[in-house]
């Protein structure tokens, strides 16, 4: 069985947590960071299963930048970091 490597970020929004996978552009949420992560993993699994059933899995993964071939699917997109920006908003 092949494995896919992806990154995840988790955000706290009010009382909920949002987990987001940049490579696949998929998000999910939960009441705790762990629940958000589990839900994201489940949504990704469902997306992969459904696109495989539709015959569009290879296209979905290629659009996300994944190279299909060996046992581990990787993309050349690399998360380089996060940084807070402070920008003027003069229109308010």
17-46: pLDDT as tens digits: 999 999 999 999 999 999 999 999 999 999
Q: What is the mean pLDDT of residues 40-54?
A: 96
| 42/75 Cα distance (integer angstroms) | 20
Per-residue pLDDT for 92 more than 80?
no
Look at residue 87 and tell me if it is in a domain.
no
CB 49 within 8 A of CB 63: no
- Domain-located, residue 45: yes
- Mean predicted lDDT score pLDDT of the chain: 91
- The predicted pLDDT at position 73 comes to 82
Tell me which DSSP letter residue 68 carries.
P
Q: Is residue 84 part of a domain?
A: no
Cβ proximity of 73 and 5 under 8 Å: yes
* Contacts of 47 by beta carbon, 8 Å cutoff, 6+ apart: 24, 26, 60
In a domain, 91, yes or no: no
Domain count along the chain:
1
| pLDDT tens by residue, 70-83 | 777 878 777 788 88
Q: Is residue 81 part of a domain?
A: no
């Amino acid at each position: 069985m092949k494995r896919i490597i992806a990154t995840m970020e988790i955000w706290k929004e009010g009382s909920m947590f949002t987990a987001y996978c940049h490579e696949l552009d998929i998000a999910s949420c939960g009441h705790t960071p762990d629940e958000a992560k589990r839900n994201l993993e489940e949504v990704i699994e469902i997306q992969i299963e459904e696109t495989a059933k539709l015959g569009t899995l290879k296209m979905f993964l290629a659009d996300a930048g994944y190279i299909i071939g060996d046992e581990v699917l990787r993309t050349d997109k690399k998360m380089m970091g996060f940084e807070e920006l402070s920008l003027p908003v003069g229109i308010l």
